[in-house]
Amino acid sequence: MARPGAACPPPARRGMVAARALLFWALVYSYCGSGAVPGRARWGALGRGRRPGSTRLPGGGAVPGRPPCRALGGGLGGRERRPGLRFHYVAAGERGKPLMLLLHGFPEFWYSWRHQLREFKSEYRVVALDLRGYGETDAPSHKENYKLDCLITDIKDILESLGYNKCVLIGHDWGGMIAWLVAICYPEMVTKLIVVNFPHPSVFTEYILRHPSQLIKSGYYFFFQMPWFPEFMFTVNDFKVLKNLFTSQATGIGRKGCRLTAEDIEAYLYFFSQPGALTGPINHYRNIFSCLPLQHHEVIMPTLLLWGERDAFMEVEMAETTRIYVKNHFRLTILSEASHWLQQDQPDIVNKLIWTFLKEETTRKRE
């Protein structure tokens, strides 16, 4: 089975891959070195963080020490074990129906898919997973445990432990990166691929090298290579950075989107304010350069890419370029008034687009 880095390309290709990898590492160290001092000064001025449990909501109330509701209209929390790790998920829909597996982004957990859990349970067994290191899933302590190969294998093993050999795979942001890689490495396990606001990984790595504007927007990738300081950054001033990611005018949900409620913010703060809760998620990024650039690229299943044009982190030009790597039906929909947090920002529109894509592909197969 094809895996990142598994096959040996021709010598010329190996040289190109090595040169790109070398350039990426040069960017990592230079960006971290240039960003460490001003970053420390900026976030240190915001004040020290409070202990988990004393975090304040935007309206001024303290965050209660309780997790978000798991039921979601018939949903079911569960755990699956793969060697050495326990994975938490929330599911909706009857067992035995086709599986729809949902992979969240950063800094999120299964809760970011709450609208889709309700919507698709009528025809699917919908499972929203907490990725390795997130939420109630186990978080290995060593950085090496978060390499992309491990994350890809997690999805394969979880699929099998749920009793399935294939699924509709949906990923957003970092979960979109993993979804692309699973589709490339284990194409027989993915009937349809749906990605929200993340381009094909090869598009991302090639685009960022040629466009300084995207390099700046992706600066947190390089900043996260530093030890311990990124975690501290999120805790200062009552986790202000975390709140602002979802609510600020610059990076949050757009004016015409579905704003997060106080209860939604509480759910995020509850998990990410736990001791050590940020290290696992940030360790995902600390291993991103372990298998990029890719040696295998092609995606062979029908693919839907949804994109919020007002994404503060990803330039929309990468969305169209993704088309060249999909060797099957490819549909791209760009929502002009939507943000990076697309499935929470415009859930009704996103759900409708997904339904259309799923039914359209079913019709094509019968013809």
In the three-class reduction of DSSP (H, G, I as helix; E, B as strand; rest coil), residue 345 is classed as helix
Q: Which of 200, 285, 325, 345 is catalytic?
A: 285
Q: Which of 173, 264, 311, 345 is catalytic?
A: 173
Residue where the block lists tokens 């990124």: 230
Handedness of CA 322, 323, 327, 328 (dihedral sign): positive
CA nearest neighbour of 195 among 74, 75, 311, 362: 311
- Helical segments of the chain, H only: 11-44, 114-120, 148-161, 174-185, 201-210, 212-217, 219-223, 229-247, 262-272, 279-286, 317-321, 342-345, 347-366
Contact (Cβ atoms closer than 8 angstroms) between residue 217 and residue 315: yes
Residues sharing a CB contact under 8 Å with residue 12, sequence separation 6 or more, in sequence order: none
Q: Is 311 a catalytic residue?
A: no
Q: Which of 88, 200, 284, 340 is catalytic?
A: 340
Secondary structure (DSSP) of 87-127: EEEEEES-TTSPEEEEE--TT--GGGGHHHHHHHTTTSEEE
Q: CA-CA distance, 215 to 221, in Å (whole number)?
A: 9
Contact (Cβ atoms closer than 8 angstroms) between residue 137 and residue 87: yes
The tally of CA atoms less than 13 A away on the side-chain side of residue 319 is 23
Q: Is 157 a catalytic residue?
A: no
What residue type is assigned to position 358 of the chain?
L
Q: Is 348 a catalytic residue?
A: no
Q: CA-CA distance, 184 to 188, in Å (whole number)?
A: 10
Give the Cβ contact number of residue 18 at 10 Å: 11
List residues with catalytic annotation.
173, 285, 340
